[in-house]
Amino acid sequence: MPQRTTTCIAFALAATLPVVSTALAQSTNGYWTTPILDRWMYPFNTSPGSRPVISVFGSDANDPSMFDSRDGQFIVGWSTGDQIPTGPATASATLHAAMVEVEFANDLVVQYDPTQDPWQIFAPTASADWQADADPGQSIELYGVGFRNGFTAATFQEFSPFAPSGTNILAPSVRSAYAMSFSGAGQAIDISNHPRQRFDPKAFAVGACATLQPGDFIPAGTRMSFELDVGDPNIRQYVLDGLAAGKLLFTISSLSFVVQQGGSFPAFYAKENALVTLGAATAAQLQVIVTIAPPCAPADLDCNQRVDGADLGLLLSNWGGAGSGDVDGSGQVDGADLGVLLSSWTG
């Protein structure tokens, strides 16, 4: 049985923000210790949804006609509606922090690399683009999940097919669920083949381990943390939209170097692992801190939970127009709206 020798970042986002309860909003710390799905998204996975260990790795950069560059991907998701309310209010909530944590199942196989590597190190070695990796190891990164072949976040399950029947599973860009990030224009994109497309994707987070030095070999039992960049508006909205829907999914991925039928790459415990069942290891975990404002009364135009002079000023500034101040939904701000506002007055 492996011994837990290293803890990366304490899984305690709650310590970074107080839980605040006021008349205006409620800051909620959601914490999920077991995912509803943890799927090894790999063409030759013959037991989807029941693998005890899930590995992540790239493909052979010198053979770009086969497989995605990010070949072995780890898709993990949680049902969040038991702790975070679903619905439109959550989609527009304030996200303070989000973190995913996984535990290594293999011992001293891969070297710790806390920095994202440029795409050029994954180019074919004979190409003019190729660069040597400047530091030991390859980073492990967290992304969103995108879908094709008719699947959505709501319908994709652990046992869903890798690709439709009859598809050449060796081909790039056929998998039903894939590592997703955002373009500079904010469009969701499949980043599974970004080295071939010659760009560096925006990672939601890069795996960190505060007690290891770059280049250290990672012991079994190490718990690696991914603290999401919630300051990025696209990443923040992805998380909020997942919480609003009650199902939040991520992809853990690495371009760890491999060769055909070989290589040294990270492997993590899945929820089906016997050690997880016995409490000797942990499956992927999720923690978020979010503040959700309560719904506003129609006449509370500034949503401060009072109908007062500020709301009256907003209504009068838009008199005769549409939009803010149209309390009764008639399409025009007029005396009827003023009447509703005054009858709702709280001061």
The CATH fold assigned to 296-347 is: Type 1 dockerin domain (1.10.1330)
Q: Where in the chain is the domain with CATH 1.10.1330.10?
A: 296-347
Q: Which residues contact 113 (CB under 8 A, 6 or more apart)?
A: 135, 136, 137, 138, 139, 140, 214, 215
Q: Strand (E) positions, 10-85?
A: 26-32, 37-41, 53-55, 57-58, 70-79
What sign does the dihedral 121-125-130-135 (CA atoms) show? positive
Residue of 222, 273, 18 whose CA lies nearest to 101: 222
Query: Would you call 15 exposed, middle or buried from its count of C-beta atoms within 10 A (0-12, 13-18, 19+)?
Result: exposed
Each residue's pLDDT, cut to its tens digit, for the chain (347 residues) gives 334 444 444 445 544 444 444 445 668 999 999 999 999 999 999 999 999 999 999 998 988 788 999 999 999 999 999 999 999 989 989 999 999 999 999 999 999 999 999 999 999 999 999 999 999 999 999 999 999 999 999 999 999 999 999 999 999 999 999 999 999 999 999 999 999 999 999 999 999 998 899 999 999 999 999 999 999 999 999 999 999 999 999 999 999 998 666 678 999 999 999 999 999 999 999 999 999 988 788 899 988 889 999 999 999 999 999 888 999 989 999 999 999 999 999 98
Calculate helix-pair angle for 335-343, 309-317, nearest 10 degrees.
170
